[in-house]
A and B are shown apart, each in its own frame.
Chain A
Amino acid sequence: MTMPAGAVADRLRLMLAEVTGRPEFASVPDETALLHGGVGLDSLAGTLLLRRIQREFGVDVAAEDMNLDALETLATLAAFVAERAGTVS
């Protein structure tokens, strides 16, 4: 069973606010870039986000996505996680 991407995106927004310490990120739009401009995750905040995603959704983004393209925008990350969450791989 997969999860709705919208629900995953909402959860990811809260995680973004937590790992960056920027509460305003809890309401960024879906098309916000995560690495360049936009949220501007650095390697520390990015790693914390990936660890939380793994803990909460059981999806190891770094292991499945060599170039971390999933981190392009909030929407691409939510879709990537939603597709894999709750499935046994």
Chain B
Amino acid sequence: MIKCVVWDIDNTLLDGVFLESPDQPPPPDAGLLAAARELSDRGILQALASRNPPEAARYVQQATGLQFAAAELGWDSKADAVGRIAASLDIAADAIAFVDDDMLERAEVAAALPDVLVLTPEDAVQAPDWPDFSPPVLTQEGRRRGEMYQARLRRQAEAASFGGSREEFLRHVGTRISIAAARPQDVPRLHELSVRTHQLNSGGAALSEDDLSALLLAGGHQVVTVALADNFGDDGLVGGVIIERNGPGPWRVPVVMVSCRALGRGVLDALLAWMCRAAAASGASSLAVPCLVNARNVPMRLALTTAGLRADQGELSADGRTVFSRSLDGPLPALPAFVSVPGGPA
């Protein structure tokens, strides 16, 4: 599934060459603009990579009305530009499409980044019809993705000039994390998170909307959502967990999933701290989270070990995941004051 389209400007997104007509730069290409708008409405990010001065990005943004999540303007290699965009948005190369009218640029990107989907402008006009560009669900969060990435750029600039600890920064920017019981209207977004998240995902199977609706009604489970906002913007629902409750016995958490947009913003730490505290308060003796161990979800594993969970050597869950667990005796992870939890302060 494509998460970001990186556009060339000259003779691609613009119907002409930006620098050739400085007084009146060319208008957008109508076919590509329609495709870019449609993809943007589906929650697919748009970005620019162009051999042009930075003014070109500002002109394109104003002429198209599109919100670009990243722009690499300059004269170095397009492959490097696309690589930097992938890194800055934290999107894997196989979820990026690159559109350029120049055959040599396409060849260079295809050679350096073989996982990137490389398209001619003629191909890109058709892209909205292709399955890779058609996310199965479209949520409020999905539609606003471009806007949220712009807030993220402003937040990163603020973080770069801030001297204190991560938690001090989160307080400084007015972070608000809200943990709450899931409602039926949250089901589409929870499904989307189960499909789209990888880095902060404990590796459970994707959950269909039917599965999730059934879990909301079934006894013995608790489905919980987490929402995130700060002074830069409202990210909406960014994560969910499913807790199996076995009375006073151990709490087992088969699903933990948080959007990579929330990385570095205290969300997973807050969720794990709340689960430890809520489980302890209900009389549970331990908390167990089965987690797939792979190279992609290292951030998940870091959060688990930071919250005091450890892998029992050799203990695997029924679906083959490594079980990370901790006893709930003794000190529990602290919950920052900017986190609100079900039923009030934990």
Complex interface bits, B299-334 against A, C-beta within 8 A gives 1, otherwise 0: 111110110001101000000001000000000000
- The answer for the CA separation of A56 and B160 in the assembled complex, in Å, is 24
Residue of A20, A60, A67 near B305 (CB, 8 A) is A67
| Chain A residues within an 8 Å CB radius of B167 | 40
- The answer for the CA separation of A29 and B138 in the assembled complex, in Å, is 49
| Chain A residues within an 8 Å CB radius of B199 | 47
Residue of A40, A50, A60, A63 near B166 (CB, 8 A) is A40
**Residue pair A47, B311 in contact (C-beta under 8 Å):** no
Interface residues on A, range: 20 to 34
- The answer for the CA separation of A44 and B167 in the assembled complex, in Å, is 13
Whether B344 sits at the interface, judged by CB under 8 Å, is no
**Residue pair A44, B264 in contact (C-beta under 8 Å):** yes
- The answer for the CA separation of A19 and B169 in the assembled complex, in Å, is 15
In B135-185, the 8 Å CB interface with A consists of 159-160, 162-163, 165-167
**Residue pair A40, B299 in contact (C-beta under 8 Å):** no
Residue of B160, B162, B166, B322 near A42 (CB, 8 A) is B166
Instruction: State how many residues of chain B have any CB contact under 8 Å with chain A.
Output: 28
| Chain B residues within an 8 Å CB radius of A22 | 163
| Chain A residues within an 8 Å CB radius of B310 | 67
**Residue pair B302, A47 in contact (C-beta under 8 Å):** yes
**Residue pair B263, A43 in contact (C-beta under 8 Å):** yes
**Residue pair B263, A44 in contact (C-beta under 8 Å):** yes
In B235-261, the 8 Å CB interface with A consists of none
Whether A35 sits at the interface, judged by CB under 8 Å, is yes
| Chain A residues within an 8 Å CB radius of B266 | 42
- The answer for the CA separation of A71 and B302 in the assembled complex, in Å, is 9
**Residue pair A45, B166 in contact (C-beta under 8 Å):** yes
- The answer for the CA separation of A71 and B299 in the assembled complex, in Å, is 13
Whether B268 sits at the interface, judged by CB under 8 Å, is yes
Whether B200 sits at the interface, judged by CB under 8 Å, is yes
Q: A47-B298, A62-B295 are in contact. Are A40 and B165 (CB under 8 A)?
A: yes
Binding site for A on B (CB under 8 A): 159-160, 162-163, 165-167, 199-200, 263-264, 266, 268-269, 293, 295, 298-303, 305-306, 310-311, 313, 322
Binding site for B on A (CB under 8 A): 20-22, 35-36, 40-47, 50, 60, 62-63, 66-68, 71
A-B contact pairs, 6 of them (CB 8 A): A20-B166, A43-B263, A47-B298, A62-B295, A63-B295, A66-B293
Q: What 4 A-B pairs have minimum CB-CB distances, sorted nearest first? A: A44-B264, A43-B299, A43-B302, A46-B302
